[in-house]
Amino acid sequence: MDINNIKAFIKLIEFGTISKTASELFITQSALSKIINKLENELDTVLLIRTNKGVSLTKEGQIVYNYFKKILFIDGEIRKELKDIKENVKKLKIVAVPSVANYSLPCVLYNLNNKFENMKFPLFLKNSSSKIVSDIADGIVDIGFVSNCQNCEFWKIKYTKAYDENIILVASNENKINNVSLDELSKFNYIQYIGDDTINEAIEEVIPNYSDFNIITQLESIEAIKKSVSRSNFLAFLPYSAVKTELYRKELKSVEIINVNIIKEIFIARRFENNEKHKEVINYIEKFILDTIC
């Protein structure tokens, strides 16, 4: 399957019409139609619904579109890797769950870029520790930040404790709730963060019936949750690192759960057989992580 045909199909879905897409690709409408027909023949299925107003995806076409986007991403990553090898670019590929990547690691990356000027530090996101460890073991990335990884037993992975992340219960600053008992938690309405499996795992270790709470909605964005909570009576469990600015500004407040602390341990995961340059950088991260996290 020609990668250029895949790119043309993706563009067609983005623009919505044969004429506009053909113009953007500098090909004729007939040539673009032949590309789509070829893809449909290769996959033995109809990908598009064609009307006078444009094109839309069939059920099968949506599946193909989703996979084609992944193929293009992988193709781009392959080309970047090969280009970096050709240009002798040194990289340490880092992966973390979203809450760590977005709120704790930006300062770490800034420090690394200043300390190791001849290296690049691409940061990737995965929503579970087991996926992160699998990528490290397979050599896809070099180092990861993981948590609650009971099922991550890979013989070639070394784990080093990095720091503790507090998961706190937050409410609007206008909310009258200041503290609650463990038994009272189920009385309230919640917005659940589902962009990072490790957070819910940490919560359920302390509050086993959390999944039975009155969860009004589930969101993948911490920023969206913070805005929703600040404008409502809903509560949410979020990492302290993600809300400390809003707490300082008094847009949100922390609700004390009496005699309960939810702590997510963050570990640095690495392969034992890293090259010497990687070992130098990783050792630096392990030594100074507490001084450099945001």
Could you tell me if 155 and 67 lie in one domain?
Answer: no
**Distance (Å, whole) CA 82 – CA 20:** 33
Which CATH number covers residue 23? Answer: 1.10.10.10
**Distance (Å, whole) CA 143 – CA 282:** 8
Domain limit, last residue, from 87, 111, 132: 87
Could you tell me if 182 and 258 lie in one domain?
Answer: yes
Q: Of the candidates 120, 102, 271, which has an alpha carbon nearest to the alpha carbon of residue 196?
A: 102
Tens digits of per-residue pLDDT, 112-129? 999 988 888 999 998 888
User: Structural domain tally of the chain?
Assistant: 3
Could you tell me if 152 and 168 lie in one domain?
Answer: no
Tens digits of per-residue pLDDT, 64-116? 999 999 999 889 888 887 887 776 768 889 999 888 999 999 999 999 999 98
Q: Is 286 exposed, middle or buried (0-12, 13-18, 19+ CB in 10 A)?
A: middle
The predicted structure's pLDDT at residue 148: 64
The predicted structure's pLDDT at residue 204: 92
* 105-115 helix and 276-292 helix, angle to the nearest 10 degrees: 130
Could you tell me if 240 and 182 lie in one domain?
Answer: yes
Q: Do residues 6 and 68 touch, judged by C-beta distance below 8 A?
A: yes
The predicted structure's pLDDT at residue 154: 63
Could you tell me if 31 and 102 lie in one domain?
Answer: no
Which CATH number covers residue 171? Answer: 3.40.190.290
Domain extent for 79 = 3-87
Could you tell me if 125 and 270 lie in one domain?
Answer: yes
Could you tell me if 171 and 255 lie in one domain?
Answer: yes
Could you tell me if 157 and 274 lie in one domain?
Answer: yes
Could you tell me if 257 and 270 lie in one domain?
Answer: no
Domain limit, last residue, from 70, 87, 104: 87
**Distance (Å, whole) CA 99 – CA 24:** 38
The predicted structure's pLDDT at residue 149: 61
Could you tell me if 73 and 209 lie in one domain?
Answer: no
Domain limit, last residue, from 56, 87, 118: 87
Could you tell me if 233 and 143 lie in one domain?
Answer: no
Q: Of the candidates 8, 2, 5, which has an alpha carbon nearest to the alpha carbon of residue 24?
A: 8
Q: What SS3 class is residue 267?
A: strand
Per-residue tens of pLDDT for the chain, all 294 residues: 899 999 999 999 999 999 999 999 999 999 999 999 999 999 999 999 998 888 999 999 999 999 999 999 889 888 887 887 776 768 889 999 888 999 999 999 999 999 988 888 999 998 888 889 888 988 889 999 988 665 556 667 888 889 999 999 999 999 999 999 999 999 999 999 998 888 998 999 999 999 899 999 999 999 999 999 999 999 999 999 999 999 999 999 999 999 999 999 999 998 887 677 788 888 889 888 888 888
The predicted structure's pLDDT at residue 84: 74
The predicted structure's pLDDT at residue 271: 86
Could you tell me if 219 and 175 lie in one domain?
Answer: yes
